[in-house]
Amino acid sequence: MNTKLPSGFLFALICCTALFCSAANAQLSTVFSDMFRTILGPASLQKAGGQANHQNHFLHSDTVANDEIVPALNSLISGNVSSFPLSSTGAGVIYEASAGLDPVTGLPLPAATSLGPIFGETAKPLGAGKIALEVSYTYLDLASFRGLPTDQMQFAFTHQEVPNRATGKPDSVLGLNPNESDVITITTDLHARAQIGAISATVGVTKDLDVGVALPLISITLSGTAKAVISSYSFAVVGYANHYFAGDSLHPVLQTAYPYNRTATGIGDLAFRAKYSIARGGSFDAAALLDLRLPTGKTEDFLGTGKVTASVWGILSKRMGDVTPHINLGYTRNPADFQSDALQFRAGFDSKFSSHLTFALDLLGHIDLNTSKAVHLAPGTTTIYDHPGKFPTADSTGVAVRQVANSNIPDSDSDNIYSAAIGFRYSPAERFVIVFNMLVPLNNKGLRAALAPTLGFSASL
């Protein structure tokens, strides 16, 4: 066996490692909590005209945001990055005795087959003693969630209930006091970008069993300038504002901005994969694949989920001349918060264009099974009864009932994701393959990138 690595693969490995060793870390799990706490608390809201507590009247909304919205946002990003599909365990240049020997070098010639799929799996194992190495780089600009651009994600926060002047107790109704009609709207201007490097190795332990590991190297950046606007009913009706970010009650500044830019880099959740050939040579080839993701990535930096995730796959494939179709069906057990167990499929083919070039196409599906773990980002509305004048009258004369949407984010009990993977494998030299793939969304569910390019380099030993 030739154990010398191709120089192109070594260069790609060095570049990938260097790329993820330079960035500084910042704890990403506090980005959203810091945003809400800063805007909704006394750090931004000003004391109004001798009234000591007006700047604290939205602190209950900050508590709600940190209890309900922040955990869901954090899990949404970390789960999406950590579950990005890894490349096939054993695709690449295949050498077989049946292909003969090169008359000049005396080495085995490449088998007259395609170079394999990219994200899908074929049932054919590497073979005892064979080794496949790969280094890849993927860029994700997670720009939309359920079809809504992430930079337009918006949350509305209402005033705390003010005690009734007669009873001294809250009425469980907003708007009886003009201050209760004030609403703060925050547009997050979220830009979530991830770079995912993966270094993987697969070994043919026996003629039927392949075992591999994949180490993800991840860099995630969250940036934007959140904008907050106070809809001041008190200023419009009473003539002075009790909630503002600057100025005074008669000349209030009702808008503010909160810039943020944080990056975290490190290893993600380590993947362990084992593929066993069940049947070969009949009407189809069959194999089973176990994929374990171990919690090695820091959850506070969105580099991992903090839980062991296990997937079991069934694989069917069959070479038909220069084309090898395949279908993969899997079940994923995911115990992490807001991450559903799922049924998954990958169906497609790889086709040999020439001895050096293979085209690969896959349809990928991820179907949620646990509606109880769906991500809900402030669904529903809050009712406000806007009363005219400084103090409400005993009756409801002139009262306007207003429904305030808690967010503009579409609500759903599941985020079933369907994508197409379109790519090429190109072998410019012996035992060395260059991989390029583009992952394209086929629906608008989940947190998605419009396009997700992957560049990889693999070597066979």
pLDDT confidence tier of residue 400, bands split at 50, 70 and 90:
confident
What mean pLDDT is reported for the chain?
85
Q: Which CATH number fits domain 7-378+412-460: 2.40.160.40, 3.30.1490.100, 3.40.50.970, 3.50.50.60?
A: 2.40.160.40
Q: With 70 as the cut, is the pLDDT of residue 17 above it?
A: no
Please write the tens of the pLDDT for every residue from 106-157: 555 555 567 888 889 999 898 898 988 899 999 999 999 999 999 999 999 9
Backbone angles phi, psi at 128, to 5 degrees: -60, 130
Report which of 15, 341, 375 is spatially closest to residue 195, judged by C-alpha positions: 15
The rounded Cα 232 to chain-centroid distance in angstroms is: 36
Q: Which residue has the higher pLDDT, 335 or 172?
A: 335
C-alpha 338/C-alpha 80 separation (Å) is 11
pLDDT of residue 397: 57
Q: With 60 as the cut, is the pLDDT of residue 428 above it?
A: yes
The residue with tokens 């009790």 is 242
pLDDT of residue 280: 86
Mean pLDDT calculated for residue range 159-181: 73
Q: With 50 as the cut, is the pLDDT of residue 18 above it?
A: yes
pLDDT of residue 14: 65
Q: With 60 as the cut, is the pLDDT of residue 167 above it?
A: no
Mean pLDDT calculated for residue range 313-325: 92
Mean pLDDT calculated for residue range 342-358: 92
| H or E element in which residue 61 lies | helix 59-64
Mean pLDDT calculated for residue range 386-393: 61
The residue with tokens 């907003």 is 174
pLDDT of residue 399: 77
Domain extent listing, the chain:
7-378+412-460
pLDDT of residue 395: 47
Mean pLDDT calculated for residue range 264-289: 92
Q: With 60 as the cut, is the pLDDT of residue 161 above it?
A: yes
Interhelix angle 70-82/31-40, rounded to 10 degrees, is: 160
Please write the tens of the pLDDT for every residue from 306-318: 999 999 999 999 9
**pTM surpassing 0.85?**
yes
Q: With 50 as the cut, is the pLDDT of residue 68 above it?
A: yes
Q: Strand pairing of 148-149 and 209-231? A: unpaired
pLDDT confidence tier of residue 174, bands split at 50, 70 and 90:
confident
pLDDT of residue 215: 92
pLDDT of residue 186: 95
DSSP letters for 18-38: HHTSSPPP--GGGHHHHHHHH
pLDDT confidence tier of residue 5, bands split at 50, 70 and 90:
low
Dihedral (CA of 402, 407, 410, 411) sign: negative
Percentage of the residues of the chain whose pLDDT score is greater than 70: 83
Mean pLDDT calculated for residue range 332-348: 94
Cα within 13 Å of Cα(407), Cβ side: 19
